[in-house]
């Protein structure tokens, strides 16, 4: 989405002058809390929900990558951005809750919720910084993983970001003809057991089963699902589940973060 | 009917005065149009930023509608003898905060030249704070015909689409009403009701990026006014689901902001804007399309395409034709008896009967019109072409209907019958309104029937007998199909 609110800024002044006779309070709710979306993954294992959505994930705090709009997410851009190694072991390590990684990332000014982000200075040389980011083992309270709220809840960068997510799917037998089905707000790449399965590009929104992988076999034991999600000025989130050959969700899986 | 294809050559060959039937004419430039509302014989739609468009016939549009308050994506509807106009105000800009407000106001008329034209003070009926999962813009209104309750949806890509209830008498929020989440990751929401279903329309994709916008209109439905609204593959709109209503069509890119307009039973239109009409400088334009219903799902019909057609009655499949002698064509019977009679002596192909083979046998003057078995003969093939400067109706221009390759024109008569006159003159009785109906068939109506003031449509009174009579959607006698499309040469 190239946000319509960009246009509306132009009209804001006239609106502010409008004579308003409130019928109700203009303040209906406050900013949402982190706890509305996530809770720590404290149990040893979890199951997919009744629709098969995997809610337990290890999420890395967002890597700043200041995409100022959502027009850039071509296939090649997403691939370049999400195959870039931001930290050692990015594509191989199974992190643990609380693990920290060191990342060199581009700084960006914080969002001003009243005025929007400051104008881009294209001629300015990007300023890089060394940052230490933490992995969090979380259970989502929703079927979709609200990465945007993960970021805002931790006081981290909300727009122009790259997220990394890892989870472990345990099977009690080999499961053939399984597909990974995902939806992401903006671009993403997905790997299972190190094999690249999906790349989602474009100015896209989170839709259930927006993209579905080829048929794969989930092996008996542990299977590692890894994803990178990239966004500009939008609300990052994703949903993911495995479906069978008929498109039905698979729920007899065990999900762990250890 | 291949209406999706605008043949590249057609635009080069047709005269400069050809009508672009894909967009509205005049100055139909608008973004985020509200649902079209009729007021005192004129049509109105409002857009983002204030103001809007007016049309006297529903085809030619120009600026002049007045809506104070600025802001975004209004909606409008008539309730009783007043007009309720809703709009939204927001701030923050791209990547910023999302504090928004939905406001409503009333007017006795939408005609800015009327002495009664005066908006009431706007009232805030819903809002969002800057960092909640909602951005209170893009309002849509629905008056539930089964209960008389007034519902309002709003929101954009920043979080959820929400629904609140308003008081249809005041336009205020119903006291104590709590907003509920009904969809996510879309904007331009609006609801409608039909046949026991409540529908939630939303626009997905990229807004405001001209020819690169990916705006597309989607819908979910529910038996409950409050949802959940589910798409054709079982996804709720909270899960991002939606069934397509209208997407980019050819050189018109990025439809968004659905609005429904019911003309009468079986005749419905939908309005929207295209983010970019490449034939109009890439500007954002108002569009009006037939609204079809298939298995209780709404779909946009195609704009009618100039071309050569069979015009077939839904009554029994006969084709409208000019009453002339049947002229046999070449190609004797073959294939009977295991192919013995059609064997080696049969030609590889048999040419179509040409107009030149039969036209000299036709009467020079006017002829009757009738229906008959369709055999693709020259007296059954009709050129249907929009007529420039002949005016129009909601969503379309008037057409002339000529025997292909001739100037012989289908015309209404003073005794409310139809005939084929020897030459097209542009008279009102030779101009035809073509509306695609909700079931995909078509209604064909003369612009004017001499001596008659009531609207009449082309109707099959008998299998072979077309006439002009009142339109009845429940009867196949009133419905026609345009088949075997050929582009104009």
pLDDT tens-place string over residues A14-54? 333 333 333 333 333 456 899 999 999 999 999 999 999 99
Measured between CA atoms, the residue of chain A closest to residue B170 is: A23
Higher pLDDT, B478 or B98: B478
Burial annotation B315-325 (CB, 10 A radius, 16+ → b, else e):
beebbbbbebe
Quote the pLDDT of residue A112: 73
Q: Which of B447, B460, B478 is nearest to B267 (CA)?
A: B478
CB contact under 8 A, A203 and B206: yes
A207/B185 touch (CB, cutoff 8 Å), yes or no: yes
Mutate to test the interface with A, among B157, B160, B189, B212 (most CBs of A within 10 A): B157
CB atoms A11 and B48 under 8 Å: yes
Minimum Cα–Cα distance from B177: chain A residue: A24
User: Nearest CB to A71: which of B209, B235, B240?
Assistant: B209
Mean pLDDT for B35-42 is 98
Please choose, from the candidates A191, A88, A158, the residue with its C-alpha nearest in 3D space to the C-alpha of residue B158: A158
Q: Which residues of B touch A21 (CB under 8 A)?
A: 121-124
Yes or no: domain A37-110+127-256 corresponds to CATH 2.30.30: no
**Do B132 and A31 make contact, defined as CB atoms within 8 angstroms?**
yes
Q: Mutate which of A9, A13, A18 to disrupt the B interface (most B C-beta within 10 Å)?
A: A18
In this predicted structure, the answer to whether residue B216 has a pLDDT above a threshold of 50 is yes
Side-chain-side CA neighbours of A243 within 13 Å: the count stands at 17
Q: Could you give the CA distance from residue B306 to residue B310 in angstroms, rounded to a whole number?
A: 13
Is domain B307-327+353-486 annotated with CATH 2.80.10.50?
yes
Q: Which residues, other chains included, contact B261 with Cβ-Cβ below 8 Å and sequence gap of 6+?
A: B35, B36, B268, B269, B270, B271, B288, B291, B394
B391-420 in b/e form (b: 16+ CB < 10 A) is bbbbbbbbbbbbbbebebbbbbbeebbbbb
Nearest C-alpha neighbor of B140 from the set B253, B60, B56, B229: B229
Is B169 in CB contact (< 8 Å) with chain A? Answer: no
Q: How much is the average pLDDT of B8-28?
A: 58
Which of helix, strand or coil describes residue A153? helix
Is B239 in Cβ contact with A207 (below 8 Å)?
A: yes
Which residue shows structure tokens 């609110």? A5
Tokens 């331009």 belong to residue: B188
Is domain B23-300 classified as CATH 2.115.10.20?
Answer: yes
- CA geometry: angle at B72 spanning B110 and B200, to 5°? 90
Average pLDDT score, chain B: 92
Identify the pLDDT of residue B20. Answer: 66
Helix (H) or strand (E) holding A77: helix A75-83
Is residue A121 pLDDT above 80, yes or no?
no
Tokens describing residue B264: 């009468």
In terms of pLDDT, which residue wins out, B91 or A108?
A: A108
* Chain B CB contacts of A8 below 8 Å: 48, 71-72, 89-91, 93, 137
Q: Is residue B34 a contact partner of residue B43, using CB atoms and an 8 Å limit?
A: no
Chain mean position to CA A41: 17
Strand B60-65 relative to strand B25-26, pairing: parallel
Residue linked to tokens 């239109």: B269
* Residue in chain A nearest B205 by alpha carbon: A1
Contact across the interface for B123 and A234, Cβ inside 8 Å: no
Can you tell me the distance from the alpha carbon of B78 to that of B434, in angstroms, rounded to the nearest whole number?
A: 27
B208 contacts on A by Cβ (under 8 Å):
2-4, 6-7
Contact call for B213 and A2, based on CB within 8 A: yes
| Closest CA of chain B from A52, distance in Å | 13
Ranges of CATH 2.80.10.50 domains, chain B: 307-327+353-486
Residues 218-247 of B with CB under 8 A from A: 235, 239-241
pLDDT bin (cut points 50, 70, 90) of residue B24 is: confident
- Tell me which of B94 and A202 has the higher pLDDT: A202
Mutation for A interface: B185, B202, B211, B215, most A CBs within 10 A: B185
- Are the beta carbons of A19 and B122 separated by less than 8 Å? yes
The pLDDT value given to residue B330: 79
Please give the share of chain B, as a percent, with pLDDT higher than 70: 92
Residues A19 and B70: their CA atoms lie apart, in Å, by: 12
Domain with CATH 2.115.10.20 in chain B: 23-300
Contacts of A208 in chain B (CB under 8 A): 235, 239-241
Interval B70-76 mean pLDDT: 94
**What integer pLDDT is reported at residue A30 of this predicted model?**
53
Tell me the three-class secondary structure of chain B, residue by residue: CCCCCCCHHHHHHCCCCCCCCCCCEECCECCCCCCCEEECCEEEEECCCCCEEEECCCCEEEEEECCCCCCEEEEEEEECCEEEEEEEEECCCCCCCCCEEEEEEEECCCCCCCCCCCCCCCEEEEEECCCCCCCCCCCEEEECCCCCCEEEEECCCCCEEEEEEECCCCCCECCCCCCEEEEECCEEEEEEEECCEEEEEEEECCCCCHHHCCCEEEEEEECCCCCCCECCCCCEHHHCCCEEEECCECCEEEEEEEEEEEEECCEEEEEEEEEEEHHHCCEEEEEEEEEEEECCEEEECCCCCCEEEEEEECCCCCEEEECCCCCCCCCCCCCCCCCHHHCCCCCCCCCCCCHHHHHHHCCCCCEEEEEECCCCCHHHCEEEEECCCCCEECCEECEEEEECCCCCEEEECCCCCEEEECCCCCCHHHCEEEEECCCCCEEEEECCECCECCCCEEEEEECCEEEEECCCCCCHHHCEEEEEEECCC
Alpha-carbon gap: B236 to the closest alpha carbon of chain A (Å): 9
Q: Give the nearest chain B residue to A160 (CA atoms).
A: B95
> Which pLDDT tens digit goes with each residue over A133-159?
999 999 999 999 999 999 999 999 999
- As given in the structure block, the two tokens for residue A87 are 């930290």
What's the confidence (pLDDT) of residue B277? Answer: 96
Rounded to a whole number of angstroms, the distance from the CA of A89 to the nearest CA of chain B is 32
* CB atoms A6 and B49 under 8 Å: no
The per-residue pLDDT for A92 is 96
Contact B207 A3 (CB under 8 A): yes
């Amino acid at each position: 989405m190239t946000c319509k609110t960009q246009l509306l800024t132009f009209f804001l002044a006239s609106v502010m002058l409008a004579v308003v006779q409130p019928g109700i309070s203009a303040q209906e709710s406050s900013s949402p809390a982190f706890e509305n979306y996530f809770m720590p993954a404290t149990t040893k294992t979890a199951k997919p929900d009744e629709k098969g959505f995997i809610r337990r994930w290890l999420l890395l705090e967002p890597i700043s990558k200041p995409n100022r709009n959502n027009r850039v997410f071509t296939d090649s851009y997403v691939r370049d951005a999400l195959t870039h190694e931001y930290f050692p072991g990015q594509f191989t390590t199974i992190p643990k809750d609380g693990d920290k990684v060191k990342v060199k990332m581009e700084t960006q000014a914080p969002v001003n919720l009243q005025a929007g982000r400051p104008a881009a200075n294209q001629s300015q040389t990007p300023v890089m910084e060394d940052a230490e980011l933490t992995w969090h083992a979380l259970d989502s309270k929703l079927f979709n993983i609200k990465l945007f709220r993960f970021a805002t809840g931790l006081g981290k960068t909300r727009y122009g970001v790259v997220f990394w997510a890892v989870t472990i799917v345990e099977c009690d037998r080999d499961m053939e003809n399984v597909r990974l089905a995902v939806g992401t707000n903006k671009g993403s790449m997905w790997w299972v057991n190190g094999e690249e399965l999906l790349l989602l590009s474009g100015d896209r929104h989170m839709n259930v089963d927006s993209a579905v992988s080829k048929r794969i076999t989930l092996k008996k034991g542990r299977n590692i699902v890894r994803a990178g999600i990239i966004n500009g000025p939008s609300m990052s989130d994703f949903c993911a589940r495995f479906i069978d050959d008929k498109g039905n969700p698979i729920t007899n899986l065990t999900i762990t973060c250890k | 009917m291949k209406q999706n294809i605008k043949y590249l050559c057609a635009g080069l060959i047709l005269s400069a005065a050809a009508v672009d039937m894909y967009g509205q004419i005049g100055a139909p430039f608008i973004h985020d149009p509200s649902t079209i509302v009729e007021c005192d014989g004129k049509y109105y739609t409002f857009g983002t930023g204030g103001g809007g468009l007016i049309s006297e016939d529903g085809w030619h549009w120009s600026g002049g509608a007045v809506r104070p308050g600025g802001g975004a994506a209004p909606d409008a509807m008539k309730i009783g003898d007043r007009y309720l106009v809703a709009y939204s105000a927001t701030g923050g800009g791209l990547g910023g905060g999302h504090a928004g407000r939905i406001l409503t106001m009333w007017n006795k008329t939408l005609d800015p030249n009327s002495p009664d034209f005066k908006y009431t003070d706007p009232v805030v009926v819903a809002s969002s704070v800057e960092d909640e999962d909602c951005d209170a813009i893009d309002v849509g209104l629905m008056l539930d015909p089964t209960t008389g309750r007034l519902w309002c949806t709003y929101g954009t890509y920043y979080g959820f689409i929400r629904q609140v209830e308003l008081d249809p008498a005041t336009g205020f929020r119903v006291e104590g009403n709590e907003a509920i989440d009904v969809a996510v990751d879309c904007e331009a929401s609006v609801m409608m009701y039909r046949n026991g279903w409540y529908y939630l329309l939303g626009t997905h994709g990229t807004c405001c990026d001209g020819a690169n916008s990916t705006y597309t209109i989607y819908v979910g439905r529910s038996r409950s006014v409050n949802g959940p609204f589910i798409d054709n593959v079982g996804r709720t709109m909270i899960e991002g689901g939606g069934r397509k209503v209208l997407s980019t069509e050819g050189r018109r890119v990025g439809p968004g902001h659905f609005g429904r307009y019911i003309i009468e039973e079986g005749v419905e239109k939908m309005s929207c804007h295209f983010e970019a009409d490449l034939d109009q400088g890439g500007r954002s334009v108002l569009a009006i399309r037939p609204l079809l219903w298939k298995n209780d799902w709404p779909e946009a019909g195609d704009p009618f395409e100039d071309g050569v057609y069979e015009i077939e009655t839904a009554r029994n499949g006969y084709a409208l034709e000019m009453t002339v002698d049947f002229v046999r064509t070449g190609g004797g019977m073959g294939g009977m008896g295991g192919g013995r009679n059609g064997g080696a002596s049969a030609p590889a192909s048999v040419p179509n009967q040409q107009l030149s083979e039969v036209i000299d046998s036709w009467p020079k003057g006017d002829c009757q019109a009738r229906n008959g078995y369709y055999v693709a003969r020259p007296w059954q093939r009709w050129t249907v072409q929009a007529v420039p400067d002949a005016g129009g109706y909601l969503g379309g221009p008037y057409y002339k209907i000529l025997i292909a390759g001739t100037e012989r024109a289908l015309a209404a008569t003073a005794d409310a019958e139809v005939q084929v006159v020897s030459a097209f003159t542009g008279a009102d009785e030779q101009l035809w309104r073509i509306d695609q109906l909700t079931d995909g068939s078509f209604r064909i109506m003369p612009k004017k029937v001499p001596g008659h003031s009531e609207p009449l449509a082309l109707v099959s009174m008998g299998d072979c007998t077309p006439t002009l009579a009142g339109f009845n959607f429940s009867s196949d006698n009133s419905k026609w199909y345009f088949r075997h499309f050929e582009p104009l040469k």
